[in-house]
Structure 1
């Protein structure tokens, strides 16, 4: 008969305790990991569903915008709003209205960086003193990069009475994407009416600007380039987010379904 010393018994006992502890700890860690994955999956589903709903809301907004713009650009021309109506000017009720302004161009041009169907260049904004005693910035149209100096230096020649037909646009404060307007350096990335008026020392300036209508194909600035057609892919984006949510939900449910099928087969 073999005998085990006290030290040996101690080692065997410790080994058994360690094995039992290991067997008990592994399922605990595995269960915690599975729970974390499930929670992350549920969070992902909520995020995807939320993004899908947001795209549906954006689709409703875009359809309303398209309908409003189409109605306004084809409506009969109206006089550009005067000071008595400036407090009511906003994007929802006023933008893209077909308006007319009579007066004289006065003051220096402001060139605002732009990208159009004709390529990269600048919008040419010129203050126009109306016959009714107030000033409106008129976006006379687009000029390419190589004509920048010509229109920066333009003076005179625009003082005769004129009439501008175009679309009322809402001021674009601040600047463009990741680029702020720099009035001191005369660098402009958006058509910020208030900032341009301050930089040019203009008074009685309307809180909107006017995009001039189409001009001759051979003349500069080239008017009539206002974007009035808008891409509407929000339904496709919404279906994509909902599909991702459904795929993630199926991935989470698949192990549960498989486990139930195994239990039923026993």
Structure 2
């Protein structure tokens, strides 16, 4: 039996048997049929939303492929720059902005009375084994000394190299405080920005934690030009040169495998769920 309630709603009266007779219970007519289109529409929306996961993963994997090509090219350029023949230090400091890691040669003398110390640092072993540079676990400092270039008439900053903590005081390494005019080769380094969790520099205590060329230049009266002396500059009892770390992280292959793997897995699950459904029994 059908009970009409208003112009749009109708109920079916279903018989309900009990010991005292038969009662009629109202029930919404055709509710299953009405809900079927809504359920199908919801499934369709969910289907295309879930497809965004493998599509996005594929796009990110492809982006990492391009990033890896760019990084490999950058590493090759950096290696060729480091291995290039030294050139005279340019007189115009503006030119140095495009010469980071480029070997340069200068002639002049040190002013040991204005040493700066970048610390804590660990020593880079200049002995290259299988193309790798190993680091020591001993803590110490890099000794940065003003160097007056007689041919250019300017004073620059030179990272002479590593000394252990017990040798930071110049009184403990007098034999290594070279005097007189000399030829020096090193690689150009630019200023650094402070990284997270790295302490602020403390010029008053002569404790430096990163290369702030402007502040170092003000402290020593030098120009904001900085080079890392090469290993050949090392003298007995002095800092160990060749402390340039030339490294670029290249983890893009891991990211490529991760994103393409996620794309393959989610594509398989999407295909099984929406295109290979088992027929209802």
TM-score (norm 2): 0.69
* Higher relative strand content: 2
Q: Which residue of 2 aligns with 1:110?
A: 116
Q: 2:81 aligns with which of 72, 85, 93?
A: 72
Report the Cα distance in structure 1 between the residues aligned to 2:235 and 2:173, rounded to whole angstroms. Answer: 20
CA distance in 1, matches of 2:46, 2:221: 62
Aligned CA-pair RMSD: 3.8
Gaps of 5+ in 1: none
Which structure features the higher share of helix residues?
1
Structure 2 gap ranges (5+): 1-19, 125-134
Cα deviation digits, residues 153-172 of structure 1 (max 9, x gap): 98994552222111112221
SS at match of 2:61: helix
Are positions 1:237 and 2:244 aligned together?
Answer: no
Summarize the Cα distance change of 1:246–1:201 in structure 2 as closer, same or farther, 3 Å threshold: same
Distance 1:40 1:152 in 2: 69
Match status 1:162 vs 2:167: no
Show CA shifts across 1:141-186 (max 9, x none).
12233333x14998994552222111112221x2234325333554
Residue correspondences, number: 242
**Cα distance in 2 between the residues matched to 1:253 and 1:217:** 69
Q: Distance in 1 between matches of 2:106 and 2:275?
A: 70
Asked whether 1:212 is paired with 2:219, we answer no
User: Which residue does the alignment assign to 1:58?
Assistant: 67
Shift of the 139–44 alpha-carbon distance from structure 1 to 2, 3 Å rule, reads farther
SS of 1:262's equivalent in the other structure is: coil
139-148 or 94-103: which moved more? 139-148
Q: Say whether the 8 Å CA contact 1:134–1:205 is kept in structure 2.
A: no
> 1:88 is matched with which residue?
95
Q: Could you tell me how far apart the structure 1 residues matched to 2:208 and 2:230 are?
A: 22
The match for 1:145 is: 165
Higher relative contact order (CA 8 A, sep 6+): 1
Pairs within 5 Å for 1:1-266? 2=21, 4=23, 12-13=25-26, 16-17=27-28, 24=35, 35=45, 39=49, 42-43=52-53, 45-46=55-56, 48-82=57-91, 84=92, 86-90=93-97, 93-106=98-111, 107-113=113-119, 114-115=121-122, 116=124, 117-119=135-137, 120-131=139-150, 132-148=152-168, 150-151=169-170, 157-172=177-192, 174-184=193-203, 186-198=206-218, 200-206=219-225, 209-215=226-232, 216=234, 219-228=237-246, 230=248, 232-259=250-277, 262=279
Max radius of gyration: which structure? 2
TM superposition shift of 1:212: 0.8
Contact 1:197 1:205 in 2 (8 A): yes
- 1:37 and 1:220 mapped to 2: Cα distance? 69
Please give the alpha-carbon distance, in whole angstroms, between the structure 2 residues aligned to 1:127 and 1:217. 17
TM-score (norm 1): 0.72
